[in-house]
Structure 1
Amino acid sequence: MIFLVIAFIVVPIVELAVIIKVGGAIGIGPTVALLLIDSLLGAFLLRHQGRSAWVSFNRAMAESRIPAKEVLDGVLIIFGGALLLTPGFITDILGLALLIPPTRAIVRSFLKWIGISRLHWGPKAAYWGYGRVQKRKGRGPGEEPGAGANGRAKARPQAEDFSWEAPPPAAGPRPGDIEGTAHEVRDDGQALPPGERKPFAG
């Protein structure tokens, strides 16, 4: 929300103030001509750098590697061209910074640093319970964050404690158990009374 307010309200007001200031210093005609030259320069750089980024992207794909740098360069080039095509001196400076390779590399490194700093990786562990799998997340492979009653960190289940064996049977009857007696049934014609035997229809 703050970014949208800055982009659509603050920046246009500042740009208008700068244009009025420059126009009062060098005149209206030179100011308009300078803005047109900036727009033409932005279109030229957008075409040139965009073609270069596309070639680099195809080269990365041909080499079977992830074109992360090339994709980010393409996004920065498009954004820089849009800024240069927008009337204003501040946006022109920002657009040039994104289209020129040395300054674009600085911006790319800064964006990578921001992206890495926003990632939070936490080790995960899973252990098998009775009929279910439980997942846990913590700071380290052997400790839980926080302390127990004795001031020591609580131990987490280790990988050596995992077992694929079935759990021991519970003592005594369980809900759902049915008591009964099994009888063997032989397939020799003697298991059924004579009146219930029927010839097999093959």
Structure 2
Amino acid sequence: MISMFLKLFSIFLIIPVIELYLLIKIGGVIGALNTVLIILITASLGAYLAKSQGLRVLREIQEATSRGYMPGNELLHGFFVLVGSFALITPGFLTDIIGLSMLIPQIREIYVEMAKGVIRKKIQNCQWQMRMYTDFR
């Protein structure tokens, strides 16, 4: 549990510091106004792509369930569309690159395959225990 807390704490500490550094450096090169415009444009693009890709994934989930099978891949795609949308809406260049990559279907497929590998590994390493308590006195 502490390990997960440290990972999340590091992510929420390191990413904003990197973003701030990049904003200052890029703003120094292209100017503050251009930097702000890029941030606003990518946030708008993120909102648009989130809607269009989100609706597409939702349709795929509905089609899968209507055919009678569990939409595992589609759910993972939906997860990455959601994360990518939030990343694009968040101000910063690093999060924009990550977010945009998650909203492009061909690149998102790489994230989905990586996630499936992690899930597979977690399931294989899991030790299942079953206990029955039958004290009927």
Secondary structure of residue in 1 paired with 2:123: coil
Aligned counterpart for 2:101 among listed residues 86, 97, 101:
97
Query: Unpaired segments of 5 or more residues in structure 2?
Result: 129-137
Question: SS where residue 120 of structure 1 aligns?
Answer: helix
Q: What do the CA deviations read for 1:30-53 (whole angstroms, capped 9, x no partner)?
A: 000011011001001000000000
Question: Quick one: structure 1 residues 111 and 121, their matched pair in 2 at CA, closer, same or farther if it must change by over 3 Å?
Answer: closer
Q: Which of these two proteins has the greater Rg computed from alpha carbons?
A: 1
1:80 to 71, 78, 84: 84
State TM-score, norm by structure 1.
0.59
Normalized against structure 2, the TM-score is what? 0.86
- The yes-or-no answer on 1:118 pairing with 2:122 is yes
Higher helix share: 2
Q: Give the 3 Å change call, closer, same or farther, for CA 92–121 of structure 1 in structure 2.
A: closer
Partner of 2:74: 70
Which amino acid is the alignment partner of residue 31 of structure 1?
Answer: T
1:123-148: CA deviation from partner (whole Å, max 9, x where unpaired): x9xxxxxxxxxxxxxxxxxxxxxxxx
Which residue of the partner structure matches residue 29 of structure 1? 33
2:50 aligned partner: 46
Return the offset for 1:121: 6.8
% of aligned pairs identical?
35
Unaligned residue ranges in structure 1 (runs of 5+): 125-202
Counterpart position of 1:59: 63
Which of structure 1's runs of 4+ aligned residues deviate more than 6 A?
A: none
Structure with more of its chain in strand, by fraction: 1
Aligned length: 125
Alpha-carbon distance in structure 2 between the residues aligned to 1:118 and 1:62: 29
Give the Cα–Cα distance (whole angstroms) in 2 for the partners of residues 75 and 119 of structure 1: 19
Higher relative contact order (CA 8 A, sep 6+): 2
Q: How big is the alpha-carbon RMSD for the aligned residues of Structure 1 and Structure 2? A: 1.9
Counterpart AA for 1:90: L
